[in-house]
Chains A and B, each alone.
Chain A
């Protein structure tokens, strides 16, 4: 095997793949954020907490109802998405006409309340959740051992990301959504129920976070602070990709996962700062983000 910068190519390919896997979580979470910001103009700081709720929902469904991973993959996002609908109806709707900062404060406060409640009930050290039996084990790719579950994560996340992109950018429903963000009054005049569409969009964004949570449950520690560990990175991803850009969120999510993975090989100590360094540079050079529209 040949070497690249003193690192065996074998290790390097492995890290690239791992970066892609982590990137798929970033992509899925930043996608939800981008959808919500694009349609509602709300910076949803509750996203991390909703991701955590997705993972807890998977655990609780298994513990109390005997419902396994596969059904949970559908049920948990629906349940948590429904709580999102309630939050939109009760709180966010009232902030529609105010500065986006109010939405940020509200969702940040909600995140703290939700995390506090979960910590009170379940403690801080976390809960066990196993990899589903049909995805146990893994295969040897020659350059690394790839667990089946991780392969599944990357496939599912890519599929969901592309489907969402297609839905918003290429379908009739998506065009209504985009039109409603541009000029809600005119779209209403065409007989489309814009408030309901906004509510459902928020619910959908939240459901995406919950889906990522269920996918994370078997590999990351299911604990109340699991979302807050991740959310700051995901916000950086959204900023780099360009606030509100769907494709930007997806591509940046995967790309930054890879960059972070490579940093872990060459200089592990910097692995949790590299994304923020990139963010600072992007903000200096292209303030609207890599895929954002200026003006």
Chain B
């Protein structure tokens, strides 16, 4: 009897603290990202800075809310990412996780968020499966995905004559998805895929693979990889005379930080697709200036801008519901109200969790065209929002009623 009473008391006490926490009205945002490895410049500390700016601009006090931002390093490992997510949701009362570069980690965190009924806003990860077969009522995929990259760069390159392709593909979920999506676009537009080489992630020497690509005589060498791998492939491609021999690189996922690491001399002429560029509008430039207070000398990537934009929209939805407790309800609200923020403009979140906005096809400038640091891209084409992403019906997301 005594035991049962103690147990009941303990349960009551636990419940008590839980409800007390729920009523304290603090919305806690967890930025889960790569703080120390190859994607740290793409998301990392820059994503934390972007989230803080978003909170500042939202002005929680005016809505009678309190917002806190915390962050952690997932080291690009799905098990570490998932266990941090659990701890955040269970112990630290985090209401929403944002960013999460690396597709395999994002897919793991998405499962945890669904299980705990919290919200998850992906900016850094690329796999289009997040809004396809693996979609979740708790997850929104904000900035970009592999389908959109393939569609943007792939289509543009085939249309300008690059109709034979050879892929250098990073040998894990992301690389496979990117190659699959791009090959489909190339074929649909009348191009041909001549072959591919799978390379391990974090390869420092690409010369063997480049030689294979060279021997294939394909006009375009598609780089289905990211970060340091893309940089090394392009750098060594220049050395081996790939571009001088008439072959061209198509970087399927290239960030401004990668271009700066290559230098314009090596990167010039490279075509890439992005949903955001810091030097496009006055609002973007103003944001960049404020962001650079925390990261002097660097330029925000689309991933970091996406973190800002997704946090603003999330807070709007929470303000409308007056609660962040039910993650599914907040995500439903985010789908219901149209998005509008200084960086991505007006847009919508689709039923499958896909955020819809314009995408842009850029070309990297020649060194002599670049007037100031960060002046790296010129706009080649704008892909309107309704064409930029995979049509709702093609994704195979179970949330989309047929």
A contacts, CB < 8 Å to B: 8, 10-11, 14-15, 18-19, 21-22, 116, 119, 123-128, 130-131, 137-138, 144-145, 147, 149-150, 218-221, 223, 225-226, 229-230, 261, 264-265, 268-269, 271-272
Contact = CB atoms under 8 A, between A and B. Distances in A.
B236 A123 contact: no
Contacts of B211: 11, 14-15, 18, 144
B367 to A, nearest CB: 11
A120 B342 CA distance: 29
B241 A220 contact: no
A125 B227 contact: yes
Contacts of B44: 124
Nearest to A149: B239
B40 interface: yes
Nearest to A140: B241
Given A221-B231, A221-B232, A223-B261, A128 B266 contact: yes
B298 A123 contact: yes
B215 A11 contact: yes
Interface of B: 36-42, 44, 171, 197-200, 202-205, 207-209, 211-212, 214-215, 227-228, 231-232, 235-236, 239-241, 245, 255, 257-258, 260-263, 265-266, 298
A147 B231 contact: no
A268 B212 CA distance: 11
11 contacts: A15-B208, A15-B211, A18-B205, A18-B211, A123-B298, A124-B36, A128-B266, A218-B239, A221-B228, A264-B208, A268-B197
Sort A-B residue pairs by CB-CB distance and give the 9 closest, nearest first: A128-B263, A126-B261, A264-B208, A124-B40, A125-B41, A272-B200, A125-B257, A221-B231, A125-B261
A261 B239 contact: no
Contacts, number: 114
Nearest to A147: B239
Contacts of B263: 128, 130
Given A125-B41, A125-B257, A268-B199, A138 B215 contact: no
Contacts of A138: 239-241
Contacts of B298: 123
B37 A225 contact: yes
A105 to B, nearest CB: 20
Given A125-B258, A125-B261, A11 B241 contact: no
B204 A124 contact: no
A226 B258 CA distance: 15
B258 A116 contact: no
A51 to B, nearest CB: 11
B36 A272 contact: no
A145 B240 contact: yes
A116 B36 contact: yes
A19 B211 CA distance: 12
B235 A264 contact: no
Contacts of A19: 208
B204 A230 contact: yes
A131 to B, nearest CB: 6
B208 A265 contact: yes
Given A125-B258, A128-B262, A219 B239 contact: yes
Contact of B232 (A18, A220, A265): A220
A48 to B, nearest CB: 11
B363 to A, nearest CB: 18
Contact of B39 (A119, A124, A150): A124
A226 B204 contact: yes
A145 B255 CA distance: 30
Contacts of A268: 197-199, 208-209
A268 B37 CA distance: 24
Given A269-B200, A271-B208, A272-B203, 7 more contacts: A128-B262, A128-B266, A130-B263, A219-B239, A221-B204, A221-B235, A225-B38
A21 B207 contact: yes
Given A147-B239, A221-B235, A268-B209, A125 B228 contact: yes
A229 B227 contact: no
A116 B36 CA distance: 8
B41 A261 contact: no
A198 to B, nearest CB: 32
B197 A128 contact: no
A14 B240 CA distance: 12
A126 B231 contact: yes
Contacts of B208: 15, 18-19, 261, 264-265, 268, 271
Nearest to B40: A124
A11 B207 CA distance: 12
Contact of B37 (A14, A124, A131): A124
A264 B263 CA distance: 28
Contacts of A145: 214, 240-241, 245
B36 A119 contact: yes
Contacts of A221: 204, 228, 231-232, 235, 261
Contact of B257 (A123, A131, A144, A218): A123
Contact of A229 (B40, B204, B265): B204
Nearest to A127: B261
A92 B40 CA distance: 32
A126 B209 CA distance: 22
A18 B209 CA distance: 11
Contacts of A272: 200, 203
Given A125-B257, A147-B240, A22 B205 contact: yes
Contacts of B204: 220-221, 226, 229-230
B99 to A, nearest CB: 15
Nearest to A265: B208
B211 to A, nearest CB: 5
Contacts of B262: 128
Contacts of B265: 128, 130
A125 B200 contact: no
Nearest to A18: B207
Q: Which of B203, B228, B262 has the most CB of A within 10 A?
A: B228
Contacts of B258: 125
B46 to A, nearest CB: 9
